[in-house]
Structure 1
């Protein structure tokens, strides 16, 4: 979304040594360290891009830190990894092999059970659990990065089938989310879920399967844009290198392993794109590992192509889809160089990006349409929606997570299930990109969800998740002042400034119930605080719910 037409703002000057190239573009800022204001607006922008929504507590927490300290903390998670998924399903009915070894409410991740019915229910449990990880995320970028890698190394739950492998795969993405990209590519290549998804386990010397070999180059490392690029012969040669790997679903570690008798031990020759590299064929138990290392070293030797491809992927996920000449020269090129000079570690590139003038450029704020997952999860987090937390309530908790998951899925983004190996089209489809998220079908559904959550909420077994408008408002700095309430609310909800005229009209229509004087709200709020009886609560709650519902139906609420 190009906002230059209606947003103008001065940029802080960059040091002469890192002055951006004077190219035409949406914005001319680059990767010089941002030295501008550090207010709720900047904090909220940072949190909305690196987490799912900006909660009041998180905004206040980072307000006590510098910009650099905030970015460093977000990029260095200290919280433990999420607890594993639980058995929230019927483990007996319809199953030829019930999973009676797993107690209700206990985790199933170490239980071997290849019954199709049980695996179907575990897949559902896995997807609910993953949504819960987002809703309960720690104060870091870890969950957002996990989703980034899930889109990059896309798999689909039904195709993988085995939920234990799906959990192992997701745990790999989460554990290595901020680590080394080259190592992650290697780990993914031998990951059991990926070996199943892209037929790696069926890749043998007598029947080479080119599926993973193609996507390794086209989607995971090099991309389609390079000219020249890898050839069909390179795909075939890479497929031969990758022969012999298998998956064992009969032991509770669910490992991948190598069978040398299934491996193509011939020498593989690659095209001029790879400088006519040859990979010597090996035999024996170490052949698969040795040839895989040769293959990856050859691919990553195309370091300019790989680093530019990944810099663009990171940019489009976290900053903006439009990479014009200025963005390419001032952001993509230096970001790619950082990846190369740091031996493919991801964190230095992210640190530079999130601390840059370009990231905080006003033209990059509120310029992304929220993904369905971001919209659903951020709504729950920003409005402080309370989910059941007691251990005995695990079934209701999973049921609530399932509802939020289904909301996102109905709006074109089902966690765990990108539509294909390329990921969700909104992250790569030219020219629409994330404009694809909103259409005549999905926008009304988004509004229906927010209307429900600020209205009656979602109820399951007598328990309810709902936006508590009054409890949320109490956390604002000065809720008794309608002007400060409106201003702070809009700082949290919207990254595009709304005019004072709009603010005044909404204040009058909702908080002042059509009156002109601010005391119509101030008196109502103070009376409620002094005496929070039902009648007084209903007065302020009705006004707040009307205001919040209206705000979430504005087009600006769909932007982050």
Structure 2
């Protein structure tokens, strides 16, 4: 596989950035990615959703006092607003000129987990997502401060129940265990005192705020420092600790390049991250440019996003419904805004269980046959009524190949684009599918090459980048 194809998949979600990486070079490609802009306008589907605390209170009162039909209507609107939010994000992943920002948003989304299922306010989930987008390449410490003070996070990790004299330690614990420094680098006393410092941090109109009646204004000792600490103070103290850089460098390496990152690389890049005062952009530049120079193909299993978006891109499917992508991701265990727990998706081997592999193969069979699940099936995502039998609709598909080549050059072309290695057995199978007398200019040549592509998508090697 060409290096530019591998890194297009690693930094984006499909192979379509390959030409840009080759034309610009990786350094310039990264600079363009960092400078990429994004739309800050509120999506239309959220315009009528409650945004302030007073609007939210009024909305909940109206549901409480409504009759059963009206309640169903409210619930249905909320569910479809959540679906629209997922489709809106998938659209950005598919169509942004430089999708590295959205890939980083997805990384941070899986680091600072906050699910719609528990938060139950779509506008707060949107705010959470936009904070990640704004700070995707910024400063890790500042992003952590923003996340801890988001309405979505204080709701998701139960800090609304954290009050003076009646402490809830969830946010304090996960701030240390999962968000910053990792297990083994703090004490139970730090968790307890962190919870005291976070007591009273509750919902606000533009993010979480302290409620005076519930906050603890006594001194707390945190990592050996004593004072009347609050949320920002806790994070400043955490980022002074020796082992702070390594949890996040390990996760970045795992997300982009290695399912099992070597510990020497974790330490090497972590030390650099500290020197750069936890600025994410220079860290990414160092990791990507140095790892690009190495031979490290086949070290990472494609996640469901990469799998489905590459499939759609390779088959040049136009106007593919983003809702169907959302449905596929849910089936594969990568439901956006709804990780199973606060640890997020495990990645690695969890993306290639026998069930997930079968679903991938079935999806490839369906799309390569020129069919897609009917848009009507999306109505079942609301969970209402019985699941109907799957309905299908015809789609136009084609695949890019050199029509002036022959069977072997076309096999080599697809292999170079799609597979990190090809052995003799695979080569023989592909030549049996696309035989020596194959005519690339024949009327149905495209379908023959699509059959070859379908075969390739089912190979274990295709699942790796």
Band the TM-score falls in, shorter-chain normalisation: 0.7 to 0.9
Equivalent in the alignment of 2:187: 231
Alignment RMSD (CA, Å): 2.6
Q: Does 1:557 align with 2:458?
A: no
Equivalent in the alignment of 1:488: 413
**TM-fit CA distance, 1:79:** 3.6
**TM-fit CA distance, 1:500:** 6.0
Q: Aligned partners of 1:412 and 1:419: how far apart in 2?
A: 8
**TM-fit CA distance, 1:300:** 0.7
Equivalent in the alignment of 1:17: none
Equivalent in the alignment of 1:22: none
Equivalent of 1:414 in 335, 338, 354: 335
**TM-fit CA distance, 1:109:** 7.4
CA gap 1:109/1:557 in 2 versus in 1, 3 angstroms: farther
Equivalent of 1:67 in 1, 23, 26: 26
> Is the 8 Å Cα contact of residues 52 and 381 (structure 1) preserved in structure 2?
no
1:89-488 aligned at under 5 Å gives the runs: 102=48, 113-114=59-60, 115=63, 117=75, 118-224=77-183, 226=184, 229-248=185-204, 254-270=206-222, 274=223, 276-280=224-228, 291-302=230-241, 304-323=242-261, 327-329=262-264, 331-356=265-290, 358-362=291-295, 364-387=296-319, 400-426=321-347, 434-458=348-372, 459-460=374-375, 466=395, 468-469=397-398, 472-473=399-400, 476=401, 480-488=405-413
**TM-fit CA distance, 1:360:** 4.1
CA gap 1:50/1:83 in 2 versus in 1, 3 angstroms: farther
User: What SS is found at the alignment partner of 1:425?
Assistant: coil
Q: Aligned partners of 1:441 and 1:204: how far apart in 2?
A: 44
Equivalent in the alignment of 1:8: none
Q: Deviations over 1:391-449 (max 9, x none)?
A: xxxxxxxxx212111112112211111110111123xxxxxxx1122122111111001
Q: Aligned partners of 1:239 and 1:502: how far apart in 2?
A: 57
User: What SS is found at the alignment partner of 2:301?
Assistant: coil
**TM-fit CA distance, 1:359:** 4.2
Q: Aligned partners of 2:344 and 2:123: how far apart in 1?
A: 21
**TM-fit CA distance, 1:316:** 1.4
Equivalent of 1:54 in 5, 10, 15: 15
**TM-fit CA distance, 1:465:** 7.5
Equivalent in the alignment of 2:423: 499
Q: Aligned partners of 1:62 and 1:437: how far apart in 2?
A: 27
Which sections of structure 2, spanning at least 5 residues, go unmatched?
Answer: 64-73, 377-390
**TM-fit CA distance, 1:450:** 0.9
> Is the 8 Å Cα contact of residues 241 and 292 (structure 1) preserved in structure 2?
yes
Q: Aligned partners of 1:540 and 1:235: how far apart in 2?
A: 64
> Is the 8 Å Cα contact of residues 49 and 318 (structure 1) preserved in structure 2?
yes
Q: Aligned partners of 1:408 and 1:308: how far apart in 2?
A: 29
**TM-fit CA distance, 1:294:** 2.0
Q: Aligned partners of 1:41 and 1:541: how far apart in 2?
A: 23
Q: Aligned partners of 2:50 and 2:27: how far apart in 1?
A: 41
CA gap 1:83/1:131 in 2 versus in 1, 3 angstroms: farther
Q: Deviations over 1:147-169 (max 9, x none)?
A: 11011111111101011111111
Q: Deviations over 1:75-113 (max 9, x none)?
A: x142423765443xxxxxxxxxxx9x84xxxx9979864
Q: Deviations over 1:156-191 (max 9, x none)?
A: 111010111111111111121111000000000001
CA gap 1:77/1:175 in 2 versus in 1, 3 angstroms: same
**TM-fit CA distance, 1:133:** 2.4
Q: Aligned partners of 1:546 and 1:293: how far apart in 2?
A: 56
Q: Aligned partners of 1:465 and 1:205: how far apart in 2?
A: 61
User: What SS is found at the alignment partner of 2:15?
Assistant: coil
Please identify the structure whose Cα radius of gyration is greater.
1
Q: Aligned partners of 1:545 and 1:480: how far apart in 2?
A: 16
User: What SS is found at the alignment partner of 2:326?
Assistant: helix
CA gap 1:479/1:553 in 2 versus in 1, 3 angstroms: farther
Q: Aligned partners of 1:467 and 1:502: how far apart in 2?
A: 28
Equivalent in the alignment of 1:42: 3
The farther-off stretch of 331-340 and 480-489 is 480-489
> Is the 8 Å Cα contact of residues 120 and 161 (structure 1) preserved in structure 2?
no
Q: Aligned partners of 2:109 and 2:394: how far apart in 1?
A: 28
Q: Deviations over 1:477-522 (max 9, x none)?
A: 555443332222122212x221366335424x3333xxx34xx414
Q: TM-score, normalised by structure 2?
A: 0.86
Q: Aligned partners of 2:218 and 2:394: how far apart in 1?
A: 60
CA gap 1:246/1:479 in 2 versus in 1, 3 angstroms: farther
Q: Aligned partners of 2:191 and 2:289: how far apart in 1?
A: 39
Q: Aligned partners of 1:83 and 1:373: how far apart in 2?
A: 25
CA gap 1:174/1:477 in 2 versus in 1, 3 angstroms: farther
Equivalent in the alignment of 1:541: 446
Equivalent in the alignment of 1:285: none
CA gap 1:165/1:353 in 2 versus in 1, 3 angstroms: same
User: What SS is found at the alignment partner of 1:64?
Assistant: helix
Q: Which structure shows the bigger proportion of residues in helix conformation?
A: 2
Q: Aligned partners of 1:346 and 1:465: how far apart in 2?
A: 44
